[in-house]
């Protein structure tokens, strides 16, 4: 590990000041950051500790909105009875993430900002990674692409976004509250993440030092009737090959509203508006689900190692739609 100075700010304002310095990074639960430091993938000069600074509460407000403090632990959110009852896709996505030990340490803020699991990004022996060394090339392009993205890719990076719960939150139109030197702002989760384009090293729209202070999820009938399906190479402790977060509001057998996002396939958690449009106003039937799933792969660009993904995406999505459609 490279040497660094550990900063322990007394309050959030001091944290954002320290965090905005060049070569400073935040650490929350440390479950991702410690790996990146010990493997010498990152070498910050300053590590700014967030423990004890951010809100860790999980609340459902009187109007039914879910509010997660930025430091709320993955395990606490997954175990919360209101989350399980009213936002089941969030609880399910968390329970299918990582392991019990990791979930006990990891925060929601850190989860949303965890770094990609691209094996070349995580290999200290690989130099050709535009995310780590802008302009150095991309070893993944002609390498092992089984776990890599097919949506939102660029000629410079095909790294998959890793978070499961980000996919669930995307399907529910969640917002993130962020705080920085210029005050607070609110972003749709979809706006938080940037596509790689020709600057894959810039992953979000956050300004230097900006912190995620909370995540807010609106209550909807589709959120209440929602589910997360994750397909992976091992049954536990593994990232998604494909995943689907689906919420449906069905009345009298007809789909009135839909929220759909997929994981394991995009360079960011991937909302699927075309699939949603193809579901709304149609009967909740197997034919509707199959027709809608055809739209999931529009724009997909595959490589030799991940040509299986578009078909797997459609099947994952159809199965997830059956789960929630069957419960409606
Ligand atoms: C073995 C293993 C398996 C895993 N499997 C899965 C999986 O299946 N699905 C899944 O979704 N995840 C998985 N993970 C990832 C895990 O969920 C993340 O490591 C964890 O959520 C990160 O949270 P943390 O609080 O530990 O963040 P840290 O490791 O402390 O930080 C992660 C990143 O977020 C930044 N950060 C942290 N908090 C904030 C904040 N409030 N504002 C701004 N920046 C912040 C840090 O600077 C850092 O860049 C796995 C991790 C491990 C180690
Ligand atoms: S896909 Fe992205 S993260 Fe992976 S090696 Fe290429 S540039 Fe680096």
Whole-number pLDDT of residue 328: 66
Cα 60 to Cα 141: distance, rounded to the nearest angstrom: 44
The number of domains in the chain is 2
Contact 256, 276 (CB under 8 A): no
Structural domain of 24? 5-49
Is residue 55 assigned to a domain? no
Whole-number pLDDT of residue 236: 86
- Which CATH number goes with the domain that contains 41? 3.30.43
Task: Say how many Å lie between the CA of residue 309 and the centre of ligand 2.
Answer: 18
Q: What proportion of the chain, given as a percentage, has pLDDT over 70?
A: 100
3-state helix, strand, coil in the chain (%, to 5): 30, 25, 45
* Mean of per-residue pLDDT scores for the chain: 97
Task: Say how many Å lie between the CA of residue 129 and the centre of ligand 2.
Answer: 5
**Ligand 2 pocket check for 139: Cβ under 6 Å:** yes
Is residue 135 assigned to a domain? no
Task: Say how many Å lie between the CA of residue 208 and the centre of ligand 2.
Answer: 22
pLDDT, average across residues 66-87 = 98
Is residue 270 assigned to a domain? yes
Cα 14 to Cα 260: distance, rounded to the nearest angstrom: 38
Q: What is the DSSP string of 248-280?
A: EEEETTEEEEEEEEEESSBSS-EE-HHHHHHHT
Q: What is the pLDDT of residues 169-188, one digit of tens each?
A: 999 999 999 999 889 999 99
Cα 20 to Cα 26: distance, rounded to the nearest angstrom: 10
Is residue 152 assigned to a domain? no
Task: Say how many Å lie between the CA of residue 155 and the centre of ligand 2.
Answer: 10
**Residue count (the chain):** 328
Is residue 118 assigned to a domain? no
Is residue 9 assigned to a domain? yes
Is residue 296 assigned to a domain? yes
- pLDDT category at 279 given cuts 50, 70, 90 is very high
* Residues paired with 251 in a beta bridge: 254
Res. 136: pLDDT tops 70: yes
Nearest CA to ligand 2 atom 6: 138
- Among 15, 33, 49, the domain boundary falls at 49
Is residue 284 assigned to a domain? yes
C-alpha distance from residue 283 to each of 253, 254, 275, 280, 293 (Å): 6, 4, 14, 8, 15
Whole-number pLDDT of residue 84: 97
- In the structure, which protein residues have their CB atom closer than 6 angstroms to any atom of ligand 1? 25-33, 50, 54, 70, 74, 97-98, 102, 105-107, 109-111, 113-114, 162-165, 211-212, 237, 239
What Rg, from alpha-carbon coordinates, does the chain have?
19
């Amino acid at each position: 590990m490279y040497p660094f100075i550990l900063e322990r700010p007394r309050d959030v304002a001091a944290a954002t000041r320290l965090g905005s310095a060049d070569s400073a990074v935040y650490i929350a639960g440390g479950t991702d950051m410690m790996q990146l430091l010990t493997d010498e993938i990152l070498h910050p000069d300053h590590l700014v500790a967030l423990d004890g600074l951010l809100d860790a509460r999980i609340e459902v407000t009187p109007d039914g909105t879910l509010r997660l403090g930025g430091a709320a632990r993955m395990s606490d959110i997954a175990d919360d009875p209101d989350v399980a009852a009213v936002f089941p896709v969030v609880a399910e996505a968390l329970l299918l993430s990582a392991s019990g030990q990791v979930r006990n340490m990891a925060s929601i803020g850190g989860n949303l900002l965890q770094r990609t699991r691209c094996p070349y990004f995580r290999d200290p022996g690989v130099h050709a990674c535009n995310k780590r060394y802008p302009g150095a090339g991309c070893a993944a392009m002609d390498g092992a692409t089984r776990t890599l993205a097919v949506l939102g890719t660029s000629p410079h990076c095909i790294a998959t976004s890793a978070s499961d719960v980000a996919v669930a939150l995307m399907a529910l139109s969640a917002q993130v509250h962020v705080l920085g030197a210029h005050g607070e702002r609110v972003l749709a989760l979809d706006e938080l993440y940037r596509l790689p384009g020709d600057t894959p090293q810039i992953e979000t729209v956050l300004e230097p030092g900006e912190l995620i202070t909370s995540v807010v999820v609106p209550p909807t009938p589709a959120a209440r009737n929602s589910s997360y399906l994750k397909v992976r190479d091992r049954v536990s402790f593994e990232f998604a090959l494909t995943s689907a977060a689906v919420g449906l509001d069905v009345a009298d057998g007809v789909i009135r509203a839909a929220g759909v996002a997929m994981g394991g396939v995009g360079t960011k958690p991937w909302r699927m508006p075309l699939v949603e449009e193809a579901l709304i106003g149609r009967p909740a039937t197997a034919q509707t689900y199959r027709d809608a799933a055809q739209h999931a792969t529009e724009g997909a660009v595959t490589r030799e190692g991940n040509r299986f993904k578009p078909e797997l995406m459609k099947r994952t999505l159809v199965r997830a739609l059956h789960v929630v459609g069957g419960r409606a």
